[in-house]
Every structure is written in C-alpha cells, then in structure tokens.
Structure 1
C-alpha cells in the first residue's frame, strides 16, 4: 500500500523575486520630497522667492558696514568695512540659519511624521541639507559680488574658508538637533534660548578681533565655538592675519557632543513630542 502524498511539499517552487525599493532609496526619496515641500512653502509663495535669501544678509552687511564706518576710520583688518563684516557676519549667519531651521524640524513636518515612511531623521536631514546648500550658495554669491565690487587684490586661502564653513554647519546641526529635542519637551525653552543667545552676535567676533579684547574677555569668549569659526574665515581672506586661538579640535568636540546629545534625546522622546 503506497503512502499518501505529503500534505505540505518539502520545497516550494522558485518564484521570481519581487523588486522592492531598498530602505536607503526610500529614505532618499522621502528626504527629497520634504526638501521640495519646504522650498515651495518657504520660497515659492512669497514675492521674490529665493531672492530674499540673498537680499537679507546683503542688507545686514551693508547697514553694519556703513554704521561702523561712521564711528571708526579703518576696520580692524584691511581697508574695507564691507569685506571685514562679511567675513564675520556670513559664517555666523550660516550657523544661525542651520541651528534655527533644524531646531524646528519636528514642528515643521509634524503632520507628516505620523506616516511610517517619514521619520524624524528624514525631517532633520531634509532641513539641514536644504538650508546648508542655500546658505553656502548665498555666501558664494555675496562674497564674489563684494570682491568684484571692491576691485581689490585679495589673495584667498581656500582651506581655512572651507574649514570655517564646514565647522559652522556642524555646530549648527549639533545645536539645532539638541534644541529640537528641548523645544519639543519644554516649549518655553524656545524663548529662553532666544533671549540667552542675543549677545552671541557680539560675542562671535563679527564686530571685532579676538586679539583686541581684554584678557578677561578673551578667557570667556574663547569657549564660544562660533568665535573660532570666524577666526578661520578671516584667515582665508586676510593672508597676514594668522591668529593662534582657533582650535579645530575644540569646535569638533562641541559640535559632535551637541549632536550626540540631541540624537539621543530625540530618539528617546520623539513620540512624546509628536503626541503633545
């Protein structure tokens, strides 16, 4: 008597694999969609669009340069107030723009973060990438225009300039990520941080050189990482200016520590932040 056939075959026939998008491709597509959404909402609906991204910092530089020229005969470096303030204002503005937009990433994309395909990492990376590219493009256009307008023989040193911009992006991302978690858990932190950092514009070397400050002020201001970034930026535009106070290691340490704490806090509390 023959045995009955197996109810379940020992092996299944080979079936063609279904093409499934990889997680990295899905993440990249999500980030691009978030970038396009922010571009349309921030620049597509206002008259002038992206033109305001250039006019706002340009207006600040011109006003600062003109106002300071009325008080002081010559700038601390070189002969152009416009160039001196540009080398301080633009890296500070890049840091501030990244910090401000990244800190509000969860608020900006809160409605979309309830979808499984969109994560808090996508929201932060989208805002960081878009505003980094925008900020770098604005700096390139403004510095090129200023150099051509002044018609001065400026010898640029590219490595310190690129280093300053990279450090500004890192510190802005780190501080913005940490503030994103703190603002989400403690809404009042947004105003507290805004008030506490108002002197940062003065403490970052936009108006002055670190070497011109009293020793007591130097000992305090040295711990401001943006001041180091300003120093590197000016080294790239003024060959004779070689300060010894900027420290790459210190700025990297601050930026990475802030980023690590921010990622840990958001990873732990992002669901609570979204449900508030």
Structure 2
C-alpha cells in the first residue's frame, strides 16, 4: 500500500498555484472620476442655467465692494489702511466670502446630491469634496480677477506678500468646510437649525473686521471679537497687501484648531448617520 501510494503521488501532476485574488479597481481613481463628474454637474447647474454664468460670480462681490467703498467713502476721508477704499474692503471681503461660500455649499451638499447618493459609486465624501473644490476654485479665480483689476485700474503701488494671502484664503476655505460638514448633518436632522444659524450669522460680516480693522475697536470689543476666527483671517489677508500693517493678534493655530475640531466631528457624525439622513 505504501509503495503504490508513493508511485501514484509521483505520477500525479503538481498542484496548480493558488489563484490570486482579482485586483480591485483602485478606489482613489474611482473617487477622482466621481468627484470630477460631480464638479462638472455642479458647474452646469449653478453657472450654466442663468445668462452670464460666471460673470455674475464676479459682479456680485465686486458690487458689494463698491457699495461699501462708496458708503464709507462719504463718511471717512481715508480707510483704516492705505488710501484706496476699494482695495481695503476687497482685502477683507474676499476672504470672508471664501468662507461663507464654502460653508454654504458644503452645508447643502447632501440635500443637493441626494438623488445621486443612492448609487454605490457616489459617497457623501464625494459630494462634499466636489462642492468644496468648485467653490474654492471659483472664489480664488474671482478674487484674483477683482484684486488684479483694482490694483491696475487704480494704479496702486504696493509690496504684495502672497504667502499670508494664500494662507488666509486656505484657512477661510478650511473653516467653511469644517462648519459646513457639521451643519450638513444638523440641517438635515433638525431643520429649525438652518433658520437659527441664518439668524445668528446674519451680522457676521460686521463682527469679522471686514469694514474696519481690529485695532480700531476699543479694548473690551477687541477682547470679544478675538474669538471670532474670521477676524484672524481678514487680518492675515491684509498683512499681505499692506506691508506696514502688523496684525499681532492673529493666531493661525486658533483658526486651525476650530477647523480641525468641526471637521472631525462633522465627518464623524456624517459617517455614522449619513444613511439615516437619506431616509428623512
């Protein structure tokens, strides 16, 4: 029996190698294609339906800046920094608008893409990132066009430091994304919160050092608005355009910490409850 078994074992063909698992499609490239498709859809629906499209994205903030410049130009001889009212308000309003736009589009990402989230290829993160990326690209383009036009048209000579300006716009987008992801959950679970949030944040531009600088306020007011992270963002932005302005109160770590905390809890809660939100 032993000899026959050994001879049979010798005549049997060698066992085939174990089958390798089929390579899964790389998830990152699938996400990239999905996000790109969502961005194109967002561009078509947001800027392709109305005549003018992207022109209105430029005219709206430009009109707001000119209104501020004309109104305060009648009250004051010179702005708090420099001699040009338009440049002064543009350097504060544009990073503020970066925050508000990123926060708004991110807050409504699930509601806007609800019909697409039923497909396995589309996740809630794809919807959030697509709207955030498009908002950032749009606001950066609009800001560059407006600031370049103001500097050239008014023939303003300045020593531009691009680094603090880019950091300010990046912090504004990050803060908007963090609060937007948190509100994305709260708006869906508690609809009343959307009304409360709109009411609470209505005077936000007034307390964000957009139409003035931090140093213009009395000490007790400075101690209060310091906790508004947008005050740090607008101050940091202006240090890049006005070389003599030293915004010593600015704390980048403070803004980052708020953005990180809100992003962490927003994504954590969305991961836990995003399926439930689809049934509301």
Q: TM-score range by the shorter chain?
A: over 0.9
User: By how many angstroms is 1:166 displaced?
Assistant: 1.1
1:213 pairs, out of 213, 217, 220, with 217
2:35 pairs, out of 31, 35, 48, with 31
Corresponding position: 1:92 with 2:100:
no
1:125 pairs, out of 104, 125, 129, with 129
User: Structure 2: how far apart are the matches of 1:199 and 1:17?
Assistant: 58
Corresponding position: 1:266 with 2:257:
no
User: By how many angstroms is 1:51 displaced?
Assistant: 1.1
User: By how many angstroms is 1:65 displaced?
Assistant: 0.6
Q: TM-score, normalised by structure 1?
A: 0.94
Q: Superposition RMSD on alpha carbons, in Å?
A: 1.9
Corresponding position: 1:110 with 2:85:
no
Deviates more, 1:16-25 or 1:36-45: 16-25
2:138 pairs, out of 123, 126, 134, with 134
Q: Which residue does 1:233 correspond to in 2?
A: 237
User: By how many angstroms is 1:214 displaced?
Assistant: 1.2
User: Structure 2: how far apart are the matches of 1:10 and 1:62?
Assistant: 83
Report the 3-state secondary structure (helix = DSSP H, G, I; strand = E; otherwise coil) of the residue aligned with 2:257: helix
Q: Which residue does 2:84 correspond to in 1?
A: 80
Which runs of no fewer than 5 residues in structure 2 stay unpaired?
Answer: none
Residues 12, 179 of structure 1: alpha-carbon distance in 2 compared, 3 angstrom cutoff: same
Corresponding position: 1:64 with 2:68:
yes
Corresponding position: 1:256 with 2:260:
yes
Report the 3-state secondary structure (helix = DSSP H, G, I; strand = E; otherwise coil) of the residue aligned with 2:117: helix
Residues 226, 10 of structure 1: alpha-carbon distance in 2 compared, 3 angstrom cutoff: farther
Corresponding position: 1:143 with 2:115:
no
Residues 209, 21 of structure 1: alpha-carbon distance in 2 compared, 3 angstrom cutoff: same
Q: TM-score, normalised by structure 2?
A: 0.93
Q: Which residue does 2:57 correspond to in 1?
A: 53
Moved over 3 A (4+): 1-5, 9-20
User: By how many angstroms is 1:73 displaced?
Assistant: 1.2
User: Structure 2: how far apart are the matches of 1:16 and 1:272?
Assistant: 37
Report the 3-state secondary structure (helix = DSSP H, G, I; strand = E; otherwise coil) of the residue aligned with 1:113: coil
Residues 10, 199 of structure 1: alpha-carbon distance in 2 compared, 3 angstrom cutoff: farther
1:178 pairs, out of 165, 176, 182, with 182
Deviations 1:157-190 (A, max 9, x none): 1111111111111101111111101111111111
Deviations 1:221-270 (A, max 9, x none): 00000100000000000011002100011011011011111011111111
User: Structure 1: how far apart are the matches of 2:20 and 2:192?
Assistant: 56
Residues 11, 122 of structure 1: alpha-carbon distance in 2 compared, 3 angstrom cutoff: farther
User: By how many angstroms is 1:21 displaced?
Assistant: 2.6
What is the count of residue pairs matched by the alignment? 273
1:192 pairs, out of 165, 190, 196, with 196
Report the structure number with the largest CA radius of gyration.
2
